[in-house]
Amino acid sequence: MSQEPGAEDAGLTAASEFAGVPDEFQRLWTPHRMAYIQAGPEPLADDCPFCAAPGKRDEDGLIVHRGTHAYVLLNLFPYNSGHLLVCPYRHIASYDDATVHEVAEIGALTQTAMRVLRSVSRCDGFNIGMNQGAVAGAGVAAHLHQHIVPRWATDANFFPIIAKTKALPQLLGEVREAVAGAWPA
């Protein structure tokens, strides 16, 4: 059997050696998504993920930085690689429920996150915002969180429009490690 270059070390066999007839389709292998499939349609129905995350190890909660009143973590369902969320520790639903200290820290953490993402991923811009309430599109409406989505001039493709699919070139753990490692002390 022939192998891809370097595959002999990994014990891999070239796809062309397997049974089947090649077709015109490309495959986007995303085995990390199996965790979401196995969790079922409502994995967040019972627990607030933003209340649970601070009680976990940073690696397990995808936390990249812990502040005094708020913290930063990766979005478990990212729009792009490096999609961060800034959350207050308190379980509040609306921005106008946040204290002056929470608002200030959410703003400061957002600025730092932008600087870190620029240095780590060399992004060209950002989408930043909060969806307040389920009617506004908040996936977790009961706990305030701000999105920081890095964008690149070349990040648009047909997947989201035609196939309702986002192509993410990095695994969450790799992104968390890079962003946390670049976060200023």
Catalytic residue list: 145
User: CA–CA separation, 17 vs 121, rounded Å?
Assistant: 36
Integer-rounded Cα Rg, in Å, for the chain is: 19
Structure tokens at 32: 């990390």
Distances (CA, A) of 70 to 63, 74, 133: 11, 14, 19
Whose structure tokens read 């199996």? 34
Report yes or no: 147 and 83 within 8 Å, Cβ to Cβ. Answer: yes
